[in-house]
Amino acid sequence: LVILIVVSCVIGVIFVVGLIIYCVWKCGKKKEIAERIRDLDKVKKKAEISIQLDSPNTLFVPGVEVTGSMTLIVNEPVIAKSVTISILGMAETHFTV
């Protein structure tokens, strides 16, 4: 059972609020993001997933540890050796002077 969580960022700041599927589509990785969202949709039909961050209002920057807990409630029996969470953070910024 693989759970892919797509986490995106807007203007260089990553906000993780529960299960986020909010993508900056100009980042050039549309296909990869779309595949991860489809995988996530398959999982959501079989289970309820929630994520609670220890510090939900924190500004997350590269190198900062993100801590919290994940709850997975399955709708039917599942045989699984592990649960994997992948977090993908991306940003695109533009500055004009």
**Tens of pLDDT along 32-55?**
666 666 666 666 667 777 778 888
* Strand ranges in the chain using DSSP code E only, listed in sequence order: 2-6, 9-10, 13-14, 47-53, 68-74, 84-88
Percent of the chain's residues with pLDDT above 70: 47
